[in-house]
Amino acid sequence: MAKIHFIDHSGEKRTVEIENGATVMEGAIRNAIPGIEAECGGACACATCHVYVDEAWREKVGAPSPMEEDMLDFGFDVRPNSRLSCQIKVTDDLDGLVVSTPERQA
Amino acid sequence: MSEAIKTDVLIIGAGPCGLFAVFELGLLDMKVHLVDILDKIGGQCAELYPEKPIYDIPGIPFVTGQGLTDQLLEQIKPFGPSFHLNEMVESIEKIGDPLFRVKTDAGKEFEAKVVVISAGGGSFQPKRPPVPGIEAYEGTSVFYAVRKMEQFRDKNILIVGGGDSALDWTLNLHPIAKRITLLHRRDDFRAAPHSVEQMRTLVADGKMDLRIGQVTGLEGAEGQLSGAALKGNDNAMSTIACDTMLPFFGLTMKLGPVANWGVALENNLVPVDTAAFETNVSGIFAIGDINTYPGKLKLILSGFHEGALMAQKAHRYVYPDKRLVFQYTTSSSSLQKKLGVN
């Protein structure tokens, strides 16, 4: 179980608890976090669950896989700390993770 | 305008639910034409996740999106459906009771006794990059597809993206364009390695430009582009002179013209009854992800069920004088004959 903080484009913060093994995207969708669309349902096939990982967490969260990098090409305003939240699996280590959502998805 | 294609049923959307509907309609002797905006059959299964697994098709523990599409095509083969790909239905007009005139953006016209909307999340359309003011240049300087190459002769073209579309058009337009600049957010391309190699050779020979970064703004006036502002990965700003921009950012699902088809909508979905999955317009049905009703689940298996019930009611419109006797494929010799197995 980990507390994950989502900061939307206007700066509003929402916090949800996500169980280990689920993805950050799944936790966001289950809790109706705005700014995450996940059009493809978590198949790493659409880039509509794009988030920016807080700088303090980048190392722990890690870098995107080559397949995820390819999908990120379809994202908008992609930055060095961009990830697809469907590819971040929650573990105890990620308790307190802060991600922000872009101005818009696809 | 060529003559209208007459059919019992016109299905809009060739995803899994549209395909299985062909089977259920075929068992009841109804002929089907399908229209889909994609250039391939299979809808989201083929476009979004051809290689990804599906685990919840009854009786099939594991299948990929493409695998399911292929199996469905095999299953409906006996019924000989006709596919009209790369076409989008623009309008549906009621001309009889029930009879519909359906027109596509390719100028094709159908006359169908029954229309089935199985359009999933809507139509796949090119993604618009989040560049402020880009709308003002669309259709004059910014294009999301190349329909006629000649249009781009002697142009100063900026192509944005790193996939096959971006690379293919870079290579194809290069001989006729004045100058081509390819812009991608990283120096790594998901396009076919052979095309990437060709592009790199052209760059090395000074015949085109490759830039790394993202477009942040456009310059120009009255729809005529003169340049694009570029933010490099080092955050340095620069300008790329161009009179034409071709962004290739993949496809996204948009509801599209469904809103103009005369059926009621509720939160971008089509409300239907759960006895026949018919819309508020008699003779127009909606099945699969695009419909809504109390308890709706967006599952492929739900769409299959919806198609089976839809076919029962459709039969009444197509064969008003025939009584429908319910039969099983396992035991009915007449159904087996239609399937070509007896």
Q: What is the mean pLDDT of residues B157-165?
A: 94
Q: pLDDT, tens digit, for every residue of B62-81?
A: 999 999 999 999 999 999 99
Cα dist from B339 to B144, B234, B268, B311, B315, whole Å: 42, 62, 37, 17, 18
Q: Are B81 and B250 a contacting pair, CB within 8 Å?
A: no
Share of chain A above pLDDT 70, in %: 99
The class that CATH gives domain B128-249 is alpha beta
The CA-to-CA distance between both ends of chain B, in Å, stands at: 42
pLDDT of residue A74: 85
Beta strand ranges found along chain B (DSSP E): 5-12, 32-36, 53-54, 63-64, 82-85, 89-96, 99-104, 109-117, 123-126, 156-160, 179-184, 209-212, 214-221, 224-231, 237-241, 244-247, 251-254, 270-271, 284-286, 291-292
Quick check: A76 and B130 CB within 8 A? yes
Q: Which residue has the higher pLDDT, B235 or B84?
A: B84
Residue B328 has pLDDT above 90, yes or no: yes
Residue B1 has pLDDT above 60, yes or no: no
Share of chain B above pLDDT 70, in %: 99
Q: Are B156 and B178 a contacting pair, CB within 8 Å?
A: yes
Put simply, whether A55 touches B (Cβ < 8 Å) is no
pLDDT of residue B153: 97
B128, B190, B212, B298: which to substitute to probe chain A, counting the most A Cβ within 10 Å? B190
Share of chain B above pLDDT 90, in %: 85
ipTM above 0.85, yes or no: no
Taking contacts as CB-CB distances below 8 angstroms, the residues of chain A near B185 are 72-73, 78
- Alpha-carbon gap: A17 to the closest alpha carbon of chain B (Å): 25
Phi, psi angle pair for B169, to nearest 5°: -75, -30
Residue B2 has pLDDT above 80, yes or no: no
pLDDT of residue A106: 67
Residue A62 has pLDDT above 90, yes or no: yes
Q: pTM for the whole thing?
A: 0.78
Closest CA to A55 of A15, A91, A100: A100
**B237 burial level (CB within 10 Å; 0-12, 13-18, 19+):** exposed
Same fold, B5-124+252-339 and B128-249: yes
Cβ-nearest to B161 among A40, A73, A77: A73
Residue A46 binned pLDDT confidence (cut-offs 50, 70, 90): confident
Quick check: A43 and B252 CB within 8 A? no
Return the residue matching tokens 């809009």: B12
Considering the domain delimited by B5-124+252-339, tell me its CATH architecture. Answer: 3-Layer(bba) Sandwich (3.50)
Q: What is the mean pLDDT of residues A34-56?
A: 88
* Helical segments of chain A, H only: 24-30, 58-61, 66-72
Q: What is the mean pLDDT of residues A31-39?
A: 91
Q: What is the mean pLDDT of residues B94-102?
A: 95
How far is Cα B39 from Cα B32, in angstroms, rounded to an integer? 19
Q: pLDDT, tens digit, for every residue of B237-286?
A: 999 999 999 999 888 778 889 989 999 999 889 999 999 999 999 999 99
Domain boundaries, chain B: 5-124+252-339, 128-249
Return the residue matching tokens 């396992």: B330
- A2-61+70-100 is a CATH 3.10.20.30 domain: yes
